[in-house]
Amino acid sequence: MVPGMRSGTGDAVVSKHLRLLHDRIRDLQLILTGRAPIIVPTVAEEERFRAELREADLVERALTELVPAFWPVTGTSRRRVGLVAEARVLVRLRALAATLALGLQQPESAPDPDRLAMARALFRWAEAALLPFEFDDNELLPGGTLQYERIVAYAMFGQRWGSI
């Protein structure tokens, strides 16, 4: 799955993000059914929450249906992983989602709009999950290999520092 990484690391990261996703889906369902403790959405907010719920459903299906076809993941791991390992897996997950989406858009592939929507949603989810790590162009080496110094600094100091 991810070269140079323990086999259960990918499963641990996918499982963690599935738990986060399930929590968000539960929160959105509470908001939309009017059972949320504080939030009473307006009509515009309700539509935004419904769109977010549809997106979360696509991501959940992608993590439970698409990803296991390519990676050995169960979605039930409770193992903790470090931030660097999590970032590496998320980068690979984003690459997998992009590859799937591009492959499904090829003219010679059978049209499958559902799988394409899942792959696109998974890409957006992985992209958003990588935002706290704040990659920039200075961290890209020739060949697209990422340096993880900024991630380590973020993990050690807990806040964003300038160029490290």
Say which residues have a Cβ less than 8 Å from residue 55's Cβ, sequence separation at least 6: 121, 124, 125
Listed by start position, the domains of the chain span: 7-133, 135-164
Say how far apart CA 95 and CA 99 lie, in whole Å. Answer: 6
Query: Tokens 């050690």 belong to which residue?
Result: 156
pLDDT tens-digit map of 45-75 = 889 999 999 999 999 999 999 988 888 888 7
Smallest Cα–Cα separation from 148: which of 133, 163, 159, 160? Answer: 133
What global pTM score does this model have?
Answer: 0.75
Coil, helix or strand for 73? coil
What CA–CA distances, in Å, run from 126 to 35, 43, 129, 137, 157? 29, 29, 5, 18, 23
Say how far apart CA 34 and CA 30 lie, in whole Å. Answer: 6
pLDDT tens-digit map of 85-126 = 888 889 889 988 988 888 888 888 888 899 999 999 999 999
